[in-house]
Amino acid sequence: MSNLSSGKYAKFISDRSGLEFPYSEMVIEWNGARVHISEFEKKHPQLEPKPHAADPQGLLNARPARTEPAVARILTLNPLSAVSGSTTITVFEDNHGRSTSDTVRFRDAEPGAGITAADINNASGFTITVTNANNYTFTAAGTATATAKIGGGSISAGPVTLSP
């Protein structure tokens, strides 16, 4: 036999609101507070985060990183500067990222200032000398007869061979 009374007329004071409620309507929250049924709040899910499993290490059908092939870059309108009586041609290519001794091949250059298209569109390309971040020079096969900007609007500069 139990020594506790049934609490038929008993009252309790809510820990949350401080109001008096019938003892039989008391519930205990997750934090130990004794409150009335109407004041009960469940434990928030963020207080019990789910365990995080480690990421898997291997990938199915993984492939190594790909190295992008070099491509020809279209140059601005008339990017080549020729000086009368000189074989040195200066090329303007914005932020070219090239180095001295690189080989560059020009494609679709138009003739001008005594330099023929064949002098610029050489299949084996030209060894360049970098002058700054936007300009480099090469020695053309022909000699310029006038000082002018040449090359046309569809000239491109790139590697000697292009990969598909």
Q: What is the mean pLDDT of each run of 10 residues along the chain (164 residues)?
A: 73 92 92 93 88 79 83 90 90 90 91 86 90 92 87 87 68
DSSP state of 57: S
Question: Which of 134, 138, 132, 103 is CA-nearest to residue 120?
Answer: 138
Q: pTM, whole model, 2 decimals?
A: 0.58
Residue 87 has a CB neighbour count (10 Å cut-off) of: 15
Tokens of 23: 């003892």
Can you give the pLDDT at residue 52?
Answer: 82
Class of domain 73-158 (CATH, top level): mainly beta
Q: Domain-by-domain residue ranges, the chain?
A: 11-42, 73-158
Q: Which helix (H) or strand (E) holds 63?
A: none
| Phi, psi angle pair for 85, to nearest 5° | 80, 5
What pLDDT sits at residue 54?
79
pLDDT at residue number 164: 56
Closest Cα to residue 135, out of 76, 57, 67, 66? 76
- Quick one: tokens of 16? 């949350």
Tokens of 145: 């007869």
DSSP state of 99: -
